[in-house]
Amino acid sequence: METFIKKIGRNFIDIAVFFHGFTIFSNKVLKTLIKFKLFNPAVFLVFVRQIYFTGVQILPVYIAISLIIGVAMVGSLMQAADLVGGIDQLGRIMVVISFNQIAPLVTSILLALRSATAVTAEIALMKMNREIDTLQSLSIDPYEYLYLPRIAAGVICMMALSTIFVCVSLLGGYFILSFLQDMSLDYMLTTIFDNLELFDIITFLIKVFFLGFALMSIPIYTALETKAAVTEIPIALLRGMMRLFYAFILIQVFTIMLGMYL
Amino acid sequence: MTNTFIYYTSEAQKERWLDQILELTKTEHIGIVTSRLPIIGNLSVFENIILPASYHFNLSLKEGRKMIENDLKRLEMPHIIDTRPDFLTDFEKLMVKYLQVTYLQPKWIIIVSPRRMYAAEYEEKFKDFLRCETRDNSVIIDHINHRYLFQDLENYTELDFDLWLEINLQTSNSR
């Protein structure tokens, strides 16, 4: 029993230490953003490259996945709506499910698998090889050159890809609806836009901002905790991915509560 | 290249000096060439060298490329410009690191334990480099046992680290 209580206490302390450190890290990143150093040629190059690695290279696979999920989602929603006699509410259901839930969730999972792992390994390796010290010795702030462009690229790619997901999945949904319900594209778009409220857009933006920020900042912060040993890198990867997973759940719960109470 | 040499007698002393110099980089542009501060592994030679100039002085890639091509030609290694550090020899890494810090336009270039950075077969090449490079703001910090290796160089001057620091970086060192 004593061991169990100690273990809970240890975990609680670890979580508190993480939140404390991560808050300081995030604060520094946001302060760096305000300095507008993102437009420095060296920093901007890193930013553009990160956009390419995170948001462009993934596009073919991403579009295919969005299309498949779109077709499956609309097909299932239509069946469910038909069962409960709410086919006229299909537009609203599609907005709520696709725009507010599925798009940010699928994007964040795919980007976590592809980019967050790469960033964790990259930063941990740089820390281990003292390359971050090299940057500091050249009077280059790692927050400006290393962390900010990656985090900013994470937020922008999350927004852009989630929007692409909504468009592609709705297009996939249209194929199903036009085939089964003989629905025109014009009618479907009108139904969706009629059901799209300003609040949905705000919730979507808040959600993708936090997901995008967490997507890169948590792996970077975790990678910076590693010590100078190669064996620390897989541990950092595992720890970073677990923390990211918990963060995604927290953000999801937070935005659902936001939707319920506002 | 240099006529100032500083010798340390123990690793602890060298590490202490290096820490002092690193502390000074927070307020001054000082180029440090040492195995403790390697070139960036995920950048090419060109990207490594241009990085400080691009960051501090907004040097464009096009203009920087021409300058770096000329510098690498001068050091007889123009072929490595787009190579990743993993594919460079120890000596090439040392030269890239040296060029990287020169693009910082530093007040001083400090080369710490150069022989730790390359294999013995490059000793003559390194001496040629020291003879050919014309730069009066550089200093080499090496182990006292390596003193004899520099004795055939011209204008050979030895200084105490604290004195050098005080004269050149206006720093009074009490440690």
Q: Do residues A226 and A128 lie in contact, with contact meaning Cβ atoms separated by under 8 Å?
A: yes
Is A23 within 8 Å of chain B by CB?
no
- What mean pLDDT is predicted for residues B80-97? 93
Asked if B27 is an interface residue toward chain A (Cβ–Cβ < 8 A), one would say no
Contact B53, B31 (CB under 8 A): no
- The predicted pLDDT at position B4 comes to 82
CA–CA distance, B82 with A194 (Å, rounded to integer): 54
b/e map of A172-208 (b: 16 or more CB within 10 Å)?
bbbebbeeeeebeeeebeebbeebbeeebeebbeebb
Orientation of helix A103-111 relative to helix A59-83, angle to 10°: 150
B44 in contact with A, Cβ within 8 Å: no
- Within 8 A of B36 by CB-CB distance, chain A residues are 130, 133
**What is the reported pLDDT for B173?**
52
Q: Amino acid letter at B3?
A: N
**pLDDT class for B174, splitting at 50, 70, 90?**
very low
A 127-146 near B (Cβ less than 8 A): 129-131, 133-140, 145
Residue B175 has pLDDT above 50, yes or no: no
| Interchain proximity A42–B37, CB inside 8 Å | no
Which of B24, B30, B33, B37 is the best substitution to test chain A (most A C-beta atoms within 10 A)? B37
The strands making up B4-8's β-sheet, listed across from edge to edge, are: B30-33, B108-112, B138-143, B4-8, B157-158
Looking at the complex, does the CB of residue B22 fall below 8 Å from at least one CB of chain A?
A: yes
Tens of pLDDT, residues A78-118: 788 778 877 777 777 777 788 888 899 999 999 999 999 99
d(CA B123, CA B152): 13
- Under an 8 A CB cutoff, do A138 and B51 touch? yes
Encoded tokens for A83: 């069962």
Yes or no, beta carbons of A41 and B51 under 8 Å apart: no
Residues A180/A78, Cβ–Cβ less than 8 Å = yes
* Gap from A137 CA to chain B (nearest CA, Å): 6
**CA separation for the pair B104, B112 (Å, rounded):** 17
Alpha-carbon distance B155 to B152, whole Å? Answer: 10
User: DSSP characters for B148-172?
Assistant: HHHTTSSS-EE--HHHHHHHHS---
User: What one-character DSSP code corresponds to residue B8?
Assistant: E
pLDDT digits (tens, 9 = 90+) for B59-72: 999 999 999 999 99
Q: Mark yes or no for CB contact A42/B55 under 8 Å.
A: yes
pLDDT tier, B102 (very low <50, low <70, confident <90, very high otherwise):
very high
CA triple B9-B15-B16, angle to 5 deg = 90
Per-10-residue mean pLDDT of chain A, 262 residues long, equals: 88 92 95 89 95 94 89 81 76 79 91 94 94 94 95 96 90 80 78 82 91 96 90 92 94 84 70
Is B3-169 in CATH node 3.40.190.10? no
Q: pLDDT tens digits, residue range A174-198?
A: 887 787 777 777 877 787 788 788 8
ipTM: 0.89
- pLDDT for B14-42, tens place per residue? 999 999 999 988 888 999 999 999 999 99
The residues in A 37-56 lying below 8 A from B, measured between CB atoms, are 40-43, 45
In sign, the C-alpha dihedral spanning A20, A262, A249, A120 is negative
SS3 label, residue A115: helix
Name which of B37, B40, B55 is nearest A40 (Cβ-Cβ): B55
- Measured in whole angstroms, the distance separating CA A91 from the mean position of its chain's CA atoms is 25
Q: For residue A56, what pLDDT is reported?
A: 95
A122 in reach of chain B (CB within 8 A): yes
Give the model's pLDDT for residue B147: 80
